[in-house]
Structure 1
Amino acid sequence: MTVMRDTSTATSASVMSSGPAGLLLGRGQGGPVTVRLFRPEPTRAFLSAPEWVKWLIAFRAVCLGGHVSVIAGDHRPWLGLADTIRACGGTIDLLRSADELPGQGRVYRPSLIIDEQGAVTPQMRLGAWQALVTASNPAAEASVSDMRNSDMSIIVPAEGRTSENLRRAYALSPAQMKQATNLGDSDVVCASVRRLVKVSMPPSPTEYRVLFGR
């Protein structure tokens, strides 16, 4: 599977191609960057980013028809998003373990799991049309293995030990790693094996009003 197509020198969109249901992540040097989270096979992603990035990924998944399951020890940071998703007609479960996760998604009802607890291990099987986003510490030594077990990683900031682990996990070149420096307030790094793109990921005016304009 080709996980990312970097089109920084082309006019077409940059694509993290891991399925037919594309989630717009933001804009790269070559145009829109689309993450295809949902496909007949499961997708795993590693995430280390501020709360607003997690909210945007979850909300955009709901806009694709997805059901969101969040595994977190503290549900309070997620309550506002949960209220908004439900008010918009979407569905979200706030969980404390993996016991009540959906077994799989469906083509028009994919399943997104955001795991802040490490409850879903690499050995646990995921279902069709299901994506797991594991939020973890990219500076930890174990993160190299976690990234390698993921189809892609979305990270900000990417500096120090985090940068080194990202390079080791995906065999990235110094020139590629240079793109991960000097990130703006709304930038994230999206990486997979031998691929890296800097993505500007600000909320749209509507997203800002609905999610953050309180």
Structure 2
Amino acid sequence: MSVGLPPQQMEAAKRRKLKQVAPAPGWIMPEEQSAEHSEAYNATHGPSQAAVVHTGPSGLLVGEAAGGPVTVRLFRNRPTRILTTVPEYMLWLFAFRCVSLGAHLSILADEHRRWQALAGTVERCGGTVDLLGKGGVVPSQGRPYRPSLVIDDASFYDGLQAPLGPWQAMLAQVDAAASGAVHWLRSADMALLSPANSRTVENLRRAYALNQRQTKMCANIDGNEAVLVMPRRVVRVQIPPTQSEYRLLFGG
């Protein structure tokens, strides 16, 4: 014969049970947890709750490759630097997709007029953006739910050497064909380039130790293509805007 608990004890037991399965606060990235932490967390919370926020393998969609979507973990608990030499529309798409993940956008530019349309779209969609000139203050870091993206399109700022904090990324728009580009490329975690002439391809080969096949992949890029390059790794991606992105950003 079973004996039931008094009502007050039953309510207390329910509260203890709910407290045990409540998700942990903060953003826990599964790939950054140790094996011991993962096992202990899953034993208590279950595998489905190991990540409070799950945004796919890497978080930010760059474009489409032959094998499917290409994503990067741009916002991490350490800084990320990307060297870019791409058309303006690709830079706008990249920035807008970062804002869609909750990022605050800081743009350092010699000419603010080039960026005012993007800034207006970001604000109309509920995002935040700062157009900064010489002497403007860049955020020192981001936060897990509020990362920071800084775009360096200014002659008065060196985005590849400027200090960055966790959950912050820097996009530095430079000339990858310049004589000093090898040093710039090595200072970045990755490069996103389109198009790539012979001088640019040679700089990529030297900076990222590319083999012959990877070097060939960097050449002859189509109009809506770009190459995402990291040490010993190259991916060719198509970066067309979605219908919503085209309508919001380019008035289509």
Aligned to 2:204: 166
Q: Relative CO higher for 1 or 2, CA cutoff 8 Å, sep ≥ 6?
A: 1
Deviation per CA, 1:79-99: give whole Å up to 9, x if none.
110110000000111112364
Aligned in 2, Cα 1:136/1:29: closer, same or farther, shift over 3 Å?
Answer: same
Contact 1:43-1:132 within 8 A present in 2 as well: yes
Once residues 124 and 187 of structure 1 are traced to their aligned partners in structure 2, the CA distance between those partners, rounded to angstroms, is 29
Aligned partner (choices 83, 89, 100) of residue 46 of structure 1: 83
The structure with the largest helix share of the pair is: 2
Aligned partner (choices 165, 185, 189) of residue 147 of structure 1: 185
SS at match of 2:74: strand
Contact 1:21-1:38 within 8 A present in 2 as well: no
Once residues 166 and 88 of structure 1 are traced to their aligned partners in structure 2, the CA distance between those partners, rounded to angstroms, is 36
1:78 aligns with 2:100: no
Aligned in 2, Cα 1:143/1:98: closer, same or farther, shift over 3 Å?
Answer: farther
TM-superposed CA distance for 1:121, in Å, is 4.8
Aligned in 2, Cα 1:87/1:170: closer, same or farther, shift over 3 Å?
Answer: same
How many matched pairs? 195
Deviation per CA, 1:68-125: give whole Å up to 9, x if none.
1011100111111011000000011111236410111000000000001251354432
Once residues 97 and 39 of structure 1 are traced to their aligned partners in structure 2, the CA distance between those partners, rounded to angstroms, is 28
Once residues 133 and 207 of structure 2 are traced to their aligned partners in structure 1, the CA distance between those partners, rounded to angstroms, is 29
Once residues 212 and 98 of structure 1 are traced to their aligned partners in structure 2, the CA distance between those partners, rounded to angstroms, is 30
SS at match of 1:38: coil
TM-superposed CA distance for 1:21, in Å, is 5.7
Once residues 42 and 84 of structure 1 are traced to their aligned partners in structure 2, the CA distance between those partners, rounded to angstroms, is 26
TM-superposed CA distance for 1:160, in Å, is 1.6
- Higher Rg: 2
1:110 aligns with 2:147: yes
The structure with the largest strand share of the pair is: 1
One-letter code aligned to 1:54: L
Once residues 28 and 90 of structure 1 are traced to their aligned partners in structure 2, the CA distance between those partners, rounded to angstroms, is 28
Once residues 217 and 242 of structure 2 are traced to their aligned partners in structure 1, the CA distance between those partners, rounded to angstroms, is 24
Aligned to 1:190: 228
TM-superposed CA distance for 1:141, in Å, is 1.3
TM-superposed CA distance for 1:25, in Å, is 0.3
TM-superposed CA distance for 1:182, in Å, is 2.7
One-letter code aligned to 2:184: D
SS at match of 2:73: strand
Alignment of 1:13-52 (within 5 A): 22-52=59-89
SS at match of 1:127: coil
Contact 2:103-2:147 within 8 A present in 1 as well: yes
Which aligned segments of 4 or more residues in structure 1 are displaced greater than 6 angstroms?
none
Once residues 56 and 98 of structure 1 are traced to their aligned partners in structure 2, the CA distance between those partners, rounded to angstroms, is 27
TM-superposed CA distance for 1:158, in Å, is 1.2
Aligned to 1:69: 106
Deviation per CA, 1:19-76: give whole Å up to 9, x if none.
x861100011211100211001000110000100110011000000000101110011
> Which sections of structure 2, spanning at least 5 residues, go unmatched?
1-56
RMSD of aligned Cα (Å): 1.5
Contact 2:226-2:237 within 8 A present in 1 as well: yes
TM-score, normalised with respect to structure 2: 0.74
TM-score, normalised with respect to structure 1: 0.87
Deviation per CA, 1:146-175: give whole Å up to 9, x if none.
110110000011122111111111011121
